[in-house]
């Protein structure tokens, strides 16, 4: 049986409806003693999941309003910088609650009634800086499996939870806890313990009693290695944090099941021999600022698959690295430029972070299995002469480097599939780029490019070309030769036109040309039959689309927001169109064939000059969202009643004097925006819109009364009537008719 989830947002400024989740949204003003809040909850009595964004000014949260939600299983409260100094005793009345999360509150503790939540499985208290401790009754939460008190802690006390035998996960990172008590050993089911980023200097021997522990993240301030860890025989993941200076025990090898070790010590000079007896170790992340060498014993780590090694002054890598047959991924941060990288014979993925690199190291060419090389943010300015030896290199990342030009023998990289030169602001492109015959992905994001070489058209296998955020004013005609191109991203340039032969890109599926200065589209773009996604956002000089553009059979998304569109082409295609935005243009009429948009679920035609909505609108039967605001048509077509799936309808700033009676057929409508119209009355059939949750009638001076039928809207949680012609008596009557609705006036 499909579960019903209703989410409640309580905000003071604006609420947004996610119709797919049947959300309930209300506004809360603390000065009104939460009357509207209590009303809002009545219609959510079957809710199982509740998200509440609280901006009230009262110290205590009105929990009594929540007690009506008898089926509530998940409650998340985001206090959002409010006071919320107290959480009332009533919380214990939510007997079905399984998950409770409190964020950004000023609370120092939770009430004793917390212990009554016998079904509670997960408790999270996050970013609550004044929080001191849980009540003693927290030990009564017999089914609690996860406790997360992170970035919350005015006090220094470890939570009092020593009898929770079912607790599986305890997350206490980034608090001010300075001591872990001996009785932690009582948490015998604990498998995950995270206490990093706390000022804890030592750990108790009782920690060694956590025989089920598989993942342990330690605090950064430890002064000595906690020997109790050596008794954790089930431990698989051990993290000493990024700032620890504690020396590794020479008995670390006792942790036979350890598969992942993260260790940082900026003053360490050598590693213990027993580290290399960890036969199951697959991942080793090591930061050792003073480490001079890696022992030859590293060859014993036969299972090692990934190594992250960040050091300052290591001399070289030992020859024994060649014996680590399973080592495939290596990340190195170092200063020495002669590290003997050639010993990484079996490595397939290599990431180097060294600002002293001014040339791509020649020794890398001796790595026969290398498939991916990342030299991001190095000072590399040029390639080595041995570049041709990268026989298997498929991915090359030089993001943020000082590379100035591509080598003349670039074509030798016959296996290269992906090249990333993002943020390479010194790069000068040459025709050599076009010699990468097998290249499939090319990215030059934010590289200050002013022009592309003609040779780019020789990249016959290119699938993705990302040129976002450059200074391009045009694309070369040769771009039309990229017949395998599927994605072209040119957002955020200064491009004024697309090449005339753009239509040769017959495999193009995504075109993102937002935020450019395109004047006119080439007629050939209609040949791009596979286009699914097109974004021309903020190209203010685009006034029309080519005739054949309306025939694109696979187009699903079209964004013409802030284009000066005066006319859309006749629609003979667009059968798969799901989302269409033609906003803030100069559109006066809808195109012929408009009724063919049978798959459309989202249509935004707001802020145009439309003088009439055709009867064919009713044929768009899949519409879920319809935004027509700020247009000139005086009425809606009667066919609007055929939009049986419509849930969101915005008609603000349209000179309506009345609405068609057929609107009563919109049985699924949840949101109706009628701000700033010329309505003289609210139609009596409003009561037939049984699912209506929000109705906005702000700035309608002509509305001086409401029909009594409005009291039939049992799900209406918000009614906005600011700047209407309603008298005080009428507003009082509305509140009587709608006792459970938040009325904003």
What pLDDT score was predicted for residue 11?
Answer: 31
Residue 27 confidence (pLDDT) above 80 = no
Average pLDDT over residues 589-615: 96
Give percent of the chain with pLDDT exceeding 70. Answer: 90
Please report which confidence band the pLDDT of residue 12 belongs to, taking 50, 70 and 90 as the band edges: very low
Render pLDDT for 272-288 as a digit per residue (tens, 0 to 9).
999 999 999 999 999 87
Largest CA distance in the chain: 90
Contacts of 2 (CB under 8 A, 6+ apart): none
Residue 20: pLDDT over 70? no
Bigger pLDDT: 68 vs 648? 648
* The pLDDT of residue 67 is above 80: no
Measured distance CA(146)–CA(150) in Å, rounded: 12
pLDDT at 3: 30
CB proximity list for 732: less than 8 A, separation 6 or greater: none
CA–CA separation, 288 and 268 (whole Å):
6
Distance between start and end Cα atoms, the chain: 41
Q: What are phi and psi of 339, to 5 degrees?
A: -90, 0
Rounded-to-integer distance, Cα 341 and Cα 488, Å: 37
Helix (H) or strand (E) holding 286: strand 283-288
Residue 337's pLDDT is 66
Q: DSSP letter for 359, please.
A: B
Average pLDDT over residues 71-86: 78
**pLDDT tens, 384-394?**
667 767 889 99
The helix/strand/coil state of 501 is: helix
In this prediction, residue 81 carries a pLDDT of 57
Instruction: Give the CA radius of gyration of the chain.
Output: 32
**Mean pLDDT calculated for residue range 228-252:** 91
Is residue 531 within 8 A of residue 507, CB to CB? The reply is: no
Question: What is the four-CA torsion angle of 201, 205, 211, 215, rounded to 10 degrees?
Answer: 10
* SS3 sequence of 154-199: CCCCCCCCCCCCCCCEEECCCCCCCCCCHHHHHCCCCCEEECCCCC
694 three-state secondary structure: strand
**pLDDT tens digits for 31-53?**
333 334 444 444 455 678 888 77
- Between β-strands 557-559 and 579-581, what pairing exists: parallel, antiparallel or unpaired? parallel
Q: Which residues contact 198 (CB under 8 A, 6 or more apart)?
A: 172, 173, 174, 175, 176, 177, 178, 219, 221
Strand partners, 310: 287, 333
Has residue 734 got a pLDDT over 60? yes
- Does position 19 have pLDDT exceeding 60, yes or no? no
The pLDDT score that the predictor gives to residue 572 is 96
C-alpha 519/C-alpha 522 separation (Å) is 10
Strands (E), 573-717: 579-581, 602-604, 625-627, 648-650, 671-673, 694-696
Report the pLDDT averaged over residues 60-76. Answer: 75
Which three-class secondary structure string do you get for 119-165?
CCCEEEEECCCCCCCCCHHHHHCCCCCEEEEECCCCCCCCCCCCCCC
Q: Who wins on pLDDT, 54 or 172?
A: 172
As a whole number of angstroms, the distance between CA 154 and CA 602 comes to 48
CA 254, chain centre distance (Å): 40
Least confident of 147-156, 292-301, 699-708: 147-156
pLDDT at 63: 63
Nearest to 611 by CA among 583, 585, 581, 590: 590
Check: CB of residue 392 under 8 Å from CB of residue 416: no
CA distance 58 to 55: 9
The pLDDT tens digits of the residues spanning 509-557 come to 999 999 999 999 999 999 999 999 999 999 999 999 999 999 999 999 9
Which pLDDT score is estimated for 412?
85
pLDDT at 57 over 70: no
Q: Which long-range contacts does 597-602 make (Cβ < 8 Å, 24+ apart)?
A: 597/571, 598/622, 599/556, 599/575, 601/625, 602/578
- Which band of pLDDT confidence, cut at 50, 70 and 90, is reported for residue 74? very high
> pTM (2 decimals)?
0.85
Q: Is the pLDDT of residue 652 over 80?
A: yes
Does residue 154 carry a pLDDT above 90?
no
738 has pLDDT over 90: yes
Per-residue model confidence (pLDDT) at position 120: 97
Which of 58-62, 79-83, 128-132, 164-168 is least confident?
58-62
The three-state secondary structure class of 536 is coil
pLDDT in tens, 197-213: 999 999 999 999 999 99
- pLDDT score of 25: 32
pLDDT greater than 80 at residue 733: yes
Length of the chain counted residue by residue? 745
User: b/e per residue, 215-239, with b = 16+ CB within 10 A?
Assistant: bbbbbbbbeebbebbbbbeebbbbb
Instruction: Tell me the pLDDT of the chain averaged across its residues.
Output: 88
Q: What is the pLDDT of residue 389?
A: 77
* Domains, in order of start, for the chain: 1-174 (3.80.10.10), 178-336 (3.80.10.10), 348-427 (3.80.10.10)
Residue 87 CB contacts under 8 Å (≥ 6 apart), including other chains: 60, 61, 63, 102, 105, 107, 110, 111
Helix and strand tally (H, E) in the chain? 2, 33
Burial bucket for residue 140 (CB in 10 Å: 0-12, 13-18, 19+): middle
Q: How far apart are CA 349 and CA 370, in angstroms?
A: 6
CB 682 within 8 Å of CB 703: yes
* The pLDDT of residue 21: 30
Taking residues 661-671, what's their average pLDDT? 97
- Beta carbons of 259 and 280 less than 8 angstroms apart: yes
Q: Which of 488, 489, 499, 539 is nearest to 522 (CA)?
A: 499
Q: Which residues contact 693 (CB under 8 A, 6 or more apart)?
A: 17, 24, 25, 670, 671, 715, 716, 717, 718
Q: How far is CA 409 from CA 308, 396, 508, 532, in A?
A: 32, 15, 30, 37
Q: Do residues 157 and 134 touch, judged by C-beta distance below 8 A?
A: no
Do residues 253 and 233 touch, judged by C-beta distance below 8 A? no
CB 724 within 8 A of CB 701: yes
Q: Is the dihedral of CA 581, 582, 588, 591 positive or negative?
A: negative
pLDDT at 467 over 70: yes
The confidence band for 61, taking pLDDT boundaries of 50, 70 and 90, is low
């Amino acid at each position: 049986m499909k579960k019903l989830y209703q989410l409640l947002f309580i905000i003071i400024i604006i609420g947004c409806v996610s119709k797919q989740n049947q959300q309930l949204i209300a506004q809360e003003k603390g000065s009104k003693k939460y009357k509207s809040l209590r009303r809002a909850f009545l219609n959510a009595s079957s809710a199982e999941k509740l998200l509440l964004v609280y901006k009230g000014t009262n110290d205590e949260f009105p929990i009594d309003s929540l007690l009506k939600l008898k089926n509530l299983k998940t409650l998340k409260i985001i206090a959002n910088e409010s006071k919320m100094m107290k959480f009332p005793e009533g919380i214990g009345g939510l007997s079905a609650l399984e998950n409770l999360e409190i964020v950004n509150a000023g609370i120092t503790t939770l009430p004793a009634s917390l212990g009554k939540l016998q079904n509670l499985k997960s408790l999270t208290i996050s970013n609550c800086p004044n929080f001191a401790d849980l009540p003693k009754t927290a030990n009564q939460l017999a089914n609690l499996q996860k406790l997360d008190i992170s970035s919350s802690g005015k006090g220094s006390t470890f939570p009092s939870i020593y009898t929770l035998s079912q607790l599986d996960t305890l997350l206490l990172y980034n608090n001010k806890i300075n001591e872990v008590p001996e009785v932690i050993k009582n948490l015998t089911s604990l498998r995950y313990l995270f206490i990093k980023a706390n000022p804890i200097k030592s750990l108790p021997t009782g920690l060694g009693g956590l025989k089920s522990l598989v993942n342990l993240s330690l605090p950064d301030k430890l002064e000595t290695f906690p020997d109790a860890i050596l008794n954790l025989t089930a431990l698989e993941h051990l993290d000493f944090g990024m700032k620890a200076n504690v020396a590794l025990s020479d008995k670390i090898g006792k942790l036979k099941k350890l598969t992942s070790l993260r260790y940082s010590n900026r003053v360490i000079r050598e590693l213990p021999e027993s580290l290399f007896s960890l036969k199951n170790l697959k991942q080793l992340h090591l930061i050792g600022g003073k480490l001079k060498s890696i022992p030859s014993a590293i060859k014993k780590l036969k299972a090692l698959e990934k190594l992250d090694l960040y050091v300052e002054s290591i001399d070289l890598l030992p020859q024994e690295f060649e014996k680590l047959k399973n080592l495939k991924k290596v990340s190195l941060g170092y200063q020495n430029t002669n590290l003997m990288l050639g010993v990484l014979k079996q490595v397939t993925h290599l990431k180097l972070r060294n600002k002293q690199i001014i040339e791509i190291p020649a020794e890398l060419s001796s790595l026969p299995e290398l498939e991916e090389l990342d030299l991001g943010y190095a000072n590399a300015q040029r390639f080595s002469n041995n570049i041709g030896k990268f026989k298997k290199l498929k991915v090359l990342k030089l993001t943020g480097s000082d590379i100035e030009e591509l080598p003349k023998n670039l074509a030798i990289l016959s296996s290269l599939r992906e090249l990333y030169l993002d943020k390479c602001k010194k790069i000068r492109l040459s025709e050599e780029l076009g010699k990468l015959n097998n290249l499939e992905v090319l990215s030059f994001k934010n590289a200050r490019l002013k022009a592309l070489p003609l040779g780019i058209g020789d990249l016959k296998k290119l699938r993705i070309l990302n040129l976002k955020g450059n200074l391009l004013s045009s694309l070369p005609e040769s771009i039309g030769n990229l017949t395998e191109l599927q994605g072209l991203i040119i957002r955020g340039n200064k491009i004024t036109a697309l090449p005339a032969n753009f239509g040769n890109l017959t495999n193009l599926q995504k075109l993102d040309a937002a935020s450019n200065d395109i004047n006119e589209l080439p007629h050939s773009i209609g040949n791009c039959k596979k286009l699914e996604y097109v974004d021309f956002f903020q190209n203010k000089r685009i006034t029309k689309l080519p005739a054949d553009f309306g025939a694109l059979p696979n187009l699903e998304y079209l964004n013409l927001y802030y284009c000066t569109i005066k006319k859309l082409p006749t629609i003979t295609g667009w059968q798969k169109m799901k989302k269409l935005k033609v906003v803030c243009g100069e559109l006066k009429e809808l195109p012929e064939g408009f009724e063919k948009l049978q798959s459309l679920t989202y249509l935004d035609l707001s802020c145009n000059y439309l003088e009439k909505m055709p009867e064919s609108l009713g044929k768009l039967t899949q519409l879920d969202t319809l935004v027509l605001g700020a247009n000139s048509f005086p009425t809606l077509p009667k066919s609007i009643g055929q939009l049986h799936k419509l849930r969101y309808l915005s008609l603000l700033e349209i000179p309506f004097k009345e609405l068609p009676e057929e609107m009563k057929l919109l049985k699924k409508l949840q949101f109706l925006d009628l701000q700033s119209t010329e309505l003289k009355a609210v139609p009596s059939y409003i009561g037939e819109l049984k699912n209506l949750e929000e109705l906005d009638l702000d700035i309608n001076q002509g509305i001086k009364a409401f029909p009594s039928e409005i009291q039939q809207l049992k799900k209406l949680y918000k009614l906005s009537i600011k700047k209407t012609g309603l008298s005080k008596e009428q507003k009082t009557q509305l509140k009587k008719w709608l006792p459970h609705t938040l009325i904003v006036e």
